[in-house]
Structure 1
Amino acid sequence: MGIHYDYKSTKSAKLMEKQAKREKKLAERKAKRLAKEGIKKESDKDKVLDASKPITLDFLTNPNKK
């Protein structure tokens, strides 16, 4: 019978803890996702061609290109 009296008095505290745990987990997921996206964006920038340079056959077939 004591559990019923205890439930209502601690309900709000338990809900607050649950919400904090949920927000912490979401923040960790968001940080992890942003870290992964940052790595991809940096590697994509390296592969962009310069629009002012013409594309030549030598540029396309050069095995030592960077």
Structure 2
Amino acid sequence: MGIHYDYKSTKSAKLMEKQAKRERKLAEKKAKRLAKEGPKKDDNKDKALDASKPITLDFLTNPNKE
């Protein structure tokens, strides 16, 4: 019967261990995936807006803007 009395006292510690193990596995998977992909390249950089030009409604709503 000792296991039943011990369950509640160790429940929180076991849950914390499970969560740490889960986070460690996710971190390992992420590191492995990043190593497999290689360094990221930022080829698709967004163009910055020109501060000297005013923002107009046409600029915001034009679907054919470049």
TM over 0.5: yes
Instruction: Output the TM-score relative to the length of structure 1.
Output: 0.57
Report the RMSD for the aligned CA atoms in angstroms: 1.6
Note the C-alpha offset of 1:15. 0.3
Query: Which residue identity does 1:17 align to in structure 2?
Result: E
The count of corresponding residues between Structure 1 and Structure 2 is 41
Poorly superposed stretches of 4+, deviation over 4 Å: none
Amino-acid identity (%):
90
SS of residue matched to 1:8: helix
Structure 2 counterpart of 1:8: 8
Q: Provide TM-score, normalisation by structure 2.
A: 0.57
Unmatched 5+ residue regions in structure 2? 42-66
Please, which runs of 5 or more residues in structure 1 have no aligned partner? 43-66
